[in-house]
C-alpha cells in the first residue's frame, strides 16, 4: 500500500485525540514529503544530524519530535526548532536543554522517558530514579523546559500481556506524577507510548501520542 493509504488506515484505527507521530528516521526527505502531502505534520527522528539536515530542507510547518537518545553536546543543534523532546532521561540533559532553550528564547516541551521494559538496551529513568528526580525539584528552576508528560517503550516480545502490563505501568506513573507534582499544570498531559507492533494496546492503555514508523513507511 502507499504511504497515504497507510496513514489513512492508521488514522481510522485510532481515536482522533491520539496524536500520530510518523517516525521517519532513515527515510528520505522525498518519503517525508509524500506523507506531508497526505496531511501528516508531526514527524519523529532519533538522530540529531539527520534531523537537522531534514529540517533545513523540508516545510517550516512540520512539527519535529526527537525520540532517540539525546547527547548533551548536540542539544544546541535542535533547540531552535524542536517541538517536543520525548527522551529526557537525566538532570544533566535537562540542564543543557534549559541552557539552549534560553539562548533561543524558547520554552522546549519535554517528556520524562521511563525505563519499564525488561531489556538492558532501552534507556530512560527507572521509576524510582524518576521519583527522585521529581522530588529533588531542580526542574522547577528550569523555566525554559516544560515537563509535558512521560514516554516509554514496551519490551520487544510476543507476550502481549507483558506489553500491556508495561504500558499500564507507564500510565500509572504518569497518574502518580500528575497528582504529586502537576495537578495544576495543564501542560503535563502526554503519554507517548506505542509503536507499529503494539500501538493498539498502547491506545487501549491510555496513550495520547503514538510513534509509528514501519506501519506508515514500510521496513527501514
Ligand X SMILES: *Cc1c(COP(=O)(O)O)cnc(C)c1O
113 binds ligand X (CB under 6 A): no
196 binds ligand X (CB under 6 A): yes
108 binds ligand X (CB under 6 A): no
Footprint of ligand X on 46-105 (CB under 6 A):
46, 67-68
Shortest reach from residue 95's CB to ligand X, in Å? 23
Give 79 or 195: the residue with its C-beta nearer to ligand X. 195
Cell of 21: 507521530
Shortest reach from residue 131's CB to ligand X, in Å? 22
* Number of residues binding to ligand X, judged by CB under 6 A: 13
Give 25 or 72: the residue with its C-beta nearer to ligand X. 25
Give 142 or 195: the residue with its C-beta nearer to ligand X. 195
Cell of 45: 527522528
Distance between the two ends of the chain, CA-based, in angstroms?
A: 15
170 binds ligand X (CB under 6 A): no
Give 87 or 142: the residue with its C-beta nearer to ligand X. 87
Collapse the DSSP code of 210 into the 3-class scheme (helix H, G, I; strand E, B; otherwise coil) and give the result: strand
Give 4 or 25: the residue with its C-beta nearer to ligand X. 25
Whether the CB-CB separation of 206 and 171 falls below 8 Å is answered with: yes
Please state the φ and ψ torsions of residue 169, each to the nearest 5 degrees: -65, -45
Cell of 220: 527501514
214 binds ligand X (CB under 6 A): yes
Q: How far apart are CA 195 and CA 171, in angstroms?
A: 16
Report DSSP letters for 40-71, one per residue. --EEEES-HHHHHHHHHHS-TTPEEEE-S---
Q: Which residues bind ligand X (CB under 6 A)?
A: 23, 25, 46, 67-68, 195-197, 211-215
Amino acid at each position: 500500500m502507499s504511504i497515504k493509504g497507510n496513514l489513512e488506515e492508521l488514522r481510522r484505527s485510532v481515536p482522533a485525540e491520539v496524536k500520530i507521530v510518523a517516525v521517519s528516521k532513515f527515510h528520505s526527505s522525498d518519503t517525508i514529503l509524500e506523507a506531508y502531502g497526505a496531511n501528516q505534520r508531526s514527524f519523529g527522528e532519533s538522530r540529531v544530524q539527520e534531523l537537522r539536515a531534514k529540517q533545513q530542507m523540508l516545510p517550516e510547518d512540520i512539527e519535529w519530535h526527537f525520540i532517540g537518545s539525546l547527547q548533551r553536546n548536540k542539544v544546541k543543534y535542535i533547540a531552535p526548532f524542536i517541538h517536543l523532546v520525548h527522551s529526557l532521561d537525566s538532570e544533566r540533559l535537562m540542564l543543557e536543554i534549559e541552557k539552549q532553550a534560553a539562548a533561543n528564547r524558547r520554552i522546549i516541551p519535554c517528556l520524562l522517558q521511563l525505563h519499564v521494559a525488561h531489556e538492558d538496551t532501552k534507556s530512560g529513568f527507572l521509576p524510582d530514579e524518576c521519583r527522585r528526580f521529581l522530588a529533588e525539584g531542580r526542574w522547577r528552576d528550569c523555566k525554559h523546559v516544560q515537563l509535558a508528560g512521560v514516554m516509554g517503550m514496551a519490551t520487544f516480545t510476543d507476550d502481549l500481556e507483558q506489553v500491556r502490563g508495561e504500558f499500564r505501568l507507564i500510565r500509572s506513573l504518569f497518574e502518580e506524577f500528575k497528582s504529586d507534582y502537576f495537578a495544576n499544570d495543564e501542560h503535563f498531559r502526554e503519554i507517548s507510548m506505542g509503536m507499529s507492533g503494539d500501538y493498539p494496546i498502547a491506545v487501549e492503555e491510555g496513550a495520547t501520542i503514538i510513534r509509528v514508523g514501519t506501519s506508515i513507511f514500510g521496513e527501514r
